[in-house]
Structure formats: structure tokens, C-alpha cells
């Protein structure tokens, strides 16, 4: 009963319930905890079908939107996933985050003293976080670590990797279709080239006409169309690529039509002067028409597949770029010290009557 007469801060129960936890937290925050820095960036994700264009994302974000783009969640899922982590420098991540204190550092209590890649992935998701804002249709990427250069660099690296993944998302979805179409077009083009060579040889041999330049121009146009690779580096680049491919396809149609007309013009001459050769000539002519039509159809199908790939790709506008933080954000000594003090004192006030007094 003697303790009840003492001022509260002289009581053993006060120091047990309130003083010890507060001093322990204060000692950890002030002497042990490693300073932590945060780097934040804000981006907007949009698809080719969105009305926002590259460079206009900031204005769109300022006006707000009804809901976040599906691409925002693709971004979040990828950044939080092991695929993104695997593209980073894992030894460097382990080395840096392992330099933290025993409670918050990798390999300490925060990762249950584990250092394997699964523990790293879990730790990574707690220190590289993505938040989707439904109101402004923006995405915030936050990275924290134990040096300003590390968090700034990692934030930029994650953004770069995620941006490339978003741009290739549509291409990946249609890659198998496009590869199959390219293989088929290559085979059909080879067959057309062979038939054109036979027609050229036939015409040269019998002095009908020589369309060497026209044939070569046609084959060059086909080659140029097939060798072009879909460009999704930006929405503008993708649109420019598809427009160029459409023009190339029109040029290909015009060349095929011109050659067909030239060959047709010689039909009567062949029929009158070289009747025995007429069958060979018409067979070659029919083959060229059919194969040219097939190649045109192949290229049209390939262009359509590429258009679908572009439409299913996502693009990223950086609204607020990552900056190197000047000051650490953690530990917040005063904040956590006061929270611990107040919480433990309230616990003391509640538990005091039940504490045995001696």
C-alpha cells in the first residue's frame, strides 16, 4: 500500500507499463534504427484507344477521371510481381536492404531472418509499393531504402522496366499470331518470287517483254513490308508505324496491279505468235495473280494483327518524376516516441488498479 501514496512516476508499475516501453522505443529510434529515405513518382497509364495522348496525360490527370485505366492495375500487378523483381539487380538489393537495422533490415526481423529470394520478394513488396488513385486515374510508385541515391535510382529503374512491359503487353498477346503470319507470308513471298523469275525467264527467252525492274521493285516492296517491326515505343510512334505500313500495302497493291496489266497486254501477242507457248504463259500468269493476291492478303492480315497489338498495348506518361530525397522520412523519433508514451500511459491508467501493490 505504500506505493499508492507515491507520485505516479515513482511507482514501479508506472515504469513497468509506461516507462520501459517508451524508453525502449526511444533507444531504438535514437540509437539503433537506420535512417530511411523515400522516393516517389506519379504516372498515368493509358491505352491506344484512350482519348489521352502522349504528353497530354498530365492535363487529363489534373481534370480527373471516373475510374482508373485497366493499365494502372497491369502496372501495379507487374511491379508487385516476381517478374519485375527478377529484372532488377537482386544481389544489389540484398546488399543494400541488408544494411538496415535488425528490426527493419532485410535478413532481420522484417524478413523473419531469412535471406532467400522468396523472403526478398516479400520484403521488396513492402518497400516498393504501388497505389492506384481512382479519382485522378494516376498511379503512385513509392520506393524506400537506406540511401537517397539507392531509392532514387531504384524508382527510375522500376519505372523504366514497367514502361517497357506495358508497351510490349499487346505485342506479347499477339506474338504467336504475328510470328505465324510472318512465316506464312515469307513462304508465299518465296513462291511468288520463284514464279516471277520463271515468267521473266520465259519472256526473255521468247522476246515478249522484260519486266525485271518491275518484278524487283515488287519484291523489294514485299521485303520492306515484312522486315518492318512493330514500333510501340509510344502511342505516336505506333500510329506512325501503322500509317506507314498501310501506305506500303497500298503501294504493293498498285505494283501488283501494274504488273498484272502489263502481262495481260501481252496475252494476245502470245496467243497469236506462239500458240504452243500460250498454255505455259497463261499458267504462269495465273500463278502470279494467285500468289500476289495471297501475299497481299497475308500482309493485310499481318497489319491487322499489329493494329490489335497496338490497341492492346499501354503507354505511360510521367506526371511527377522521381527525385532524390534530401532528408530521411524514417525514423520519426518524436512521432513514435510520443505515440508510445501516450499509448503506454493509457495502458497504465487502465491497468493500474489491477496491478499488485507491494
Strand partners, 343: none
Strand partners, 43: 139, 318
Residue 2 lies in a domain: no
Grid cell 497491369 is found at 74
Residue 181 shares a structural domain with residue 309: yes
Residue 49 shares a structural domain with residue 117: yes
Cis peptide before 331 (omega within 30 of 0): yes
pLDDT tens for the chain, 358 residues long, are 444 544 555 567 667 777 677 777 766 666 666 788 999 999 999 887 664 444 444 444 444 445 678 889 999 999 999 999 999 999 999 999 987 777 778 887 777 788 899 999 999 999 999 999 988 889 999 999 989 999 999 999 999 999 999 888 877 777 778 888 888 888 998 998 898 888 888 878 877 665 556 666 666 777 776 666 666 666 777 777 778 878 877 877 887 777 777 776 666 656 666 666 777 878 888 888 898 889 889 888 888 888 888 877 888 999 998 888 877 766 665 666 677 777 877 876 777 654 454 4
Residue 300 shares a structural domain with residue 244: yes
Residue 156 shares a structural domain with residue 26: no
Residue 180 shares a structural domain with residue 163: no
Residue 161 shares a structural domain with residue 204: no
- Stated pTM of the model: 0.62
Residue 197 shares a structural domain with residue 268: yes
Residue 96 shares a structural domain with residue 159: yes
Closest C-alpha among 52, 86, 93, 90 to residue 72: 52
Residue 3 lies in a domain: no
Residue 22 shares a structural domain with residue 42: no
Q: How far is CA 120 from the centre of its chain?
A: 22
Residue 105 shares a structural domain with residue 212: no
Cβ atoms within 10 A of the Cβ of 320, count?
A: 14
Residue 236 lies in a domain: yes
> What distance in Å separates the CA atoms of residue 79 and residue 176, rounded to the nearest whole number?
25
What is the tally of structural domains in the chain?
3
Consecutive H or E run containing 80 = helix 70-80
- What 3-state class would DSSP assign to 109? helix
**Domain range holding 19?**
9-32+332-358
Residue 187 shares a structural domain with residue 206: yes
> What distance in Å separates the CA atoms of residue 152 and residue 146, rounded to the nearest whole number?
11
Q: Which three cell numbers stand for residue 98?
A: 541488408
Residue 301 lies in a domain: yes
Residue 265 lies in a domain: yes
Amino acid at each position: 500500500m505504500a506505493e499508492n501514496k507515491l507520485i505516479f512516476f515513482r511507482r514501479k508499475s508506472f515504469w513497468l507499463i509506461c516507462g520501459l516501453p517508451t524508453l525502449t522505443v526511444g533507444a531504438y529510434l535514437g540509437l539503433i534504427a537506420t535512417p530511411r529515405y523515400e522516393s516517389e513518382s506519379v504516372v498515368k497509364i493509358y491505352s491506344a484507344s484512350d482519348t489521352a495522348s502522349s504528353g497530354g496525360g498530365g492535363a487529363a490527370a489534373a481534370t480527373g477521371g471516373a475510374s482508373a485505366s485497366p493499365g494502372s492495375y497491369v502496372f501495379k500487378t507487374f511491379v508487385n510481381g516476381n517478374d519485375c523483381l527478377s529484372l532488377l539487380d537482386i544481389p544489389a538489393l540484398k546488399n543494400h536492404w541488408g544494411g538496415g537495422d535488425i528490426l527493419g533490415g532485410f535478413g532481420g526481423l522484417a524478413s523473419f531472418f531469412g535471406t532467400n529470394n522468396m523472403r526478398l520478394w516479400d520484403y521488396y513488396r513492402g518497400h516498393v509499393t504501388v497505389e492506384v488513385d481512382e479519382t485522378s486515374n494516376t498511379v503512385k510508385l513509392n520506393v524506400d531504402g537506406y540511401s537517397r541515391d539507392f531509392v532514387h535510382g531504384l524508382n527510375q529503374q522500376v519505372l523504366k522496366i514497367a514502361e517497357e512491359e506495358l508497351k510490349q503487353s499487346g505485342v506479347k498477346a499477339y506474338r504467336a499470331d504475328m510470328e505465324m503470319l510472318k512465316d506464312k507470308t515469307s513462304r508465299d513471298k518465296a513462291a511468288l518470287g520463284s514464279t516471277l523469275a520463271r515468267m521473266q525467264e520465259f519472256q526473255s527467252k521468247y522476246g515478249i517483254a522484260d519486266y525485271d525492274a518491275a518484278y524487283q521493285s515488287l519484291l523489294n516492296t514485299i521485303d520492306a513490308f515484312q522486315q518492318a517491326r512493330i514500333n510501340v515505343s509510344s502511342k505516336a510512334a505506333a500510329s506512325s508505324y501503322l500509317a506507314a505500313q498501310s501506305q506500303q500495302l497500298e503501294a504493293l497493291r498498285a505494283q501488283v496491279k501494274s504488273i498484272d496489266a502489263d502481262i495481260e497486254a501481252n496475252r494476245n501477242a502470245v496467243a497469236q505468235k506462239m500458240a504452243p507457248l500460250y498454255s505455259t504463259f497463261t499458267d504462269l500468269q495465273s500463278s502470279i495473280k494467285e500468289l500476289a493476291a495471297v501475299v497481299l492478303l497475308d500482309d493485310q492480315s499481318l497489319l491487322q494483327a499489329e493494329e490489335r497489338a497496338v490497341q492492346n498495348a499501354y503507354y505511360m506518361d510521367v506526371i511527377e518524376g522521381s527525385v532524390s530525397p534530401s532528408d530521411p522520412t524514417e525514423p520519426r523519433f518524436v512521432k513514435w516516441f510520443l505515440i508510445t508514451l501516450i499509448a503506454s500511459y493509457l495502458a497504465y491508467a487502465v491497468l493500474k488498479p489491477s496491478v499488485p501493490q507491494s
